[in-house]
Structure 1
Amino acid sequence: MPLYAYRCGEDGPAEVTAPMGAAPATISCPTCGGEARRMITVPRLGLADRTRVAAIDRAEASRTEPTVVSAPPPARASRPRPAPRLDPRTAALPRP
């Protein structure tokens, strides 16, 4: 659930958790009971795990600074896959 920031004229900032898109424009201040208006804040992406942050950074960088390559990547050596284990219940069925 998202965390919404509000600012009271007397007591300063307050944070409220509400369902996405359901936060009201004003709330009563938890300290003084006065009116607190909703503030527009940046998303807290820094709290995400490092893998997700790295993927976001790579995607952002590729938009303006795409990597330049001189050749296609080398082909991987394919290993033979092991045969699938047969279910004993289907062992008697005809095989193609």
Structure 2
Amino acid sequence: MHRVATYQFRCAEDGVFDVSLPMGTAGPQWRCPVCGSDAVRVFSAPMLSRTSRALVAAIDRAEKTRDEPDVVSAVPPRSARTLGPMGAPNPALRRLPRP
């Protein structure tokens, strides 16, 4: 059984494209599927998991706030700051003794 990896190559004319090949078989160059010229291999971080686009967008937003935090010009309204119960109370807690 051959394990397949996705390799990236960059064509000077058409940009980056992916090629799926058995692991360890990719050479330093590959022919561009659009124009046919030689493209060089690009080394990038491996994709070890399949992450949803929504999660990737949330991670990107979180990383952006590290360097470019949102500026707040006013305190949020009181209704937004009040904390309510986290959910329906557990009925078993009603039987506990009260001080």
TM-score (norm 1): 0.47
Whose Rg is larger?
1
